[in-house]
Amino acid sequence: MVIIDNLFIHYKRPEQYVFAGENYLDIYKYVNKSFQKTQTIENVSIFNPGSDNFKSVSSELAVVDTGIILNSGYYIFNIFDFEKIPFREGLQQEIVEWRLRKVFPENIEEYNHQFFKISKKKILSILFKKSLKEKIEEYFTANGLNLIYMCNSTVNIINHVVTQKTAPDFFIEIDRNLFIIVFQDHSIPFYIRKFRNDNENEVVGEIVKTINYVKNSYSQIPHTYSIVSNRAELDFDLLGDELSKLDIHPQNLQDKEKLFLPLSG
């Protein structure tokens, strides 16, 4: 599988990262030859265009090249299967946008659209609202910060999983009440579901329902899973018990606390 790269902005490795989660920001700085989380700032949302409390964050950041990692709350993922994918990039874009327009009801011109060939017959399409991307860039510029890199946490996790010796059949990314489930076949994603819910029992039910959907729709029987969580309020024991009833068992990933960071981090 090709590593998914160059998502929205990518010039060089930043000297610090901001992870934008559900109503909080984590700051990562380069310490002892690796990026370490140095601070968490609660009750700040970079995704709220009307918010002005991001100003308080700027004093906590060094005036150096900065990257931002966004959770997937405002991203739209689609995985398309084709009998044959054209070699030429222009033709690829034509057929991908043709398929996208068939399933996506909104005007794609309002979105930053990037797509990646993840196997011989699969394309991962990613949409992010242009207006939100521009507003985030304005936040940094207005506070004297040089934003050189913008990326997505789920994409970073997918990239890291590719490099692992053994990959789980699916992973669950959890950020408070935001859940992203990525099903993979030999590290190649084939189905992604995203939902929000703050009821623990309902969350477990939704995850089980999604697994059954994958079994019925893709003829894939998952046996292993991993949880990647930056902020979780879920009882993992409850989830583990339910998944074990389906003969699905946890599989550890290396450096779980760093999987949100880009590979270069």
pLDDT in tens, 146-167: 898 899 999 999 988 888 888 8
Confidence of residue 1 (pLDDT cuts 50, 70, 90): very low
Confidence of residue 2 (pLDDT cuts 50, 70, 90): very low
Mean pLDDT of 100-129: 93
Return the structure tokens found at 240.
């583990």
CATH class in words for 157-258: alpha beta
pTM of this structure: 0.91
Secondary structure (3-state) at 142: helix
Residue 231 has pLDDT above 80, yes or no: no
Averaged pLDDT score across all residues of the chain: 88
* Per-position b or e across 24-56, b if 16+ CB within 10 A of its CB: bbbbbbbeeeebebeeeeeebbbbeeeeeebee
Return the structure tokens found at 155.
């994409």
pLDDT digits (tens, 9 = 90+) for 53-106: 666 777 888 888 999 999 999 999 999 999 998 888 888 999 999 999 999 999
Which is the CATH superfamily of the domain at 9-72+130-154?
ATPase, nucleotide binding domain (3.30.420.40)
